[in-house]
A = this chain, B = another copy of it.
């Protein structure tokens, strides 16, 4: 069984860091806490005139490097490997790639070690990556191919409108993936 695991919103707490930095940078502006988020892209939750400021938060150097791990995620992927599953970390860089690409490698090395950098796959189109399952918080994933994988949603407030897909968290991944571990 080959499992592809997304990073932001699944292993790395993108939303938490965004909110912390947003509130620190713009205390005068409104903010949308995670449990009230209804769209995948943070900028869609804010007024159009704030979109550029929102993007600036996560395009800044150190943003991706310093993301906190989502509790249970690092242990889960390590447990998967220990139990013989093939695991790849499958992540899409921002169009403003200048900081995020190297910082995604830094993050993996820092939290999982240099050997795990071999499991990192950077691709805008995840449909061409061959796997059995893709664990991703994005409501829907599109690309050039019909993917081999089943998209299992990593449960987040902003993807709860999707009812057609199985979903999991790092608390119940064993049951959902049905590995009987």
Interface set of A (CB-CB < 8 Å, partner B): 2, 86, 88, 93, 95, 97-98, 101-102, 105, 114, 117-125, 128-131, 144-145, 148
Contacts and interface: CB of A to CB of B under 8 A. Distances in A.
A97 B117 contact: yes
A123 B145 CA distance: 18
A94 to B, nearest CB: 10
Q: Please list the 4 inter-chain residue pairs (A to B) with the smallest Cβ-Cβ separation, ordered nearest first.
A: A122-B122, A118-B124, A121-B123, A97-B105
Contacts of A105: 93, 97, 101
A130 B145 contact: yes
Contacts of A98: 102
B95 A128 contact: no
Given A101-B122, A120-B122, A130-B130, 4 more contacts: A95-B114, A98-B102, A118-B125, A122-B123
Nearest to A4: B128
A131 B117 CA distance: 23
Contacts of A129: 128-130
A127 B49 CA distance: 44
A35 to B, nearest CB: 32
29 contacts: A2-B128, A2-B144, A2-B145, A86-B144, A88-B125, A88-B128, A93-B105, A93-B117, A95-B114, A95-B117, A97-B102, A97-B105, A97-B117, A101-B102, A101-B105, A117-B124, A118-B124, A118-B125, A119-B124, A120-B123, A121-B121, A121-B123, A121-B125, A128-B129, A128-B131, A129-B129, A130-B130, A130-B145, A130-B148
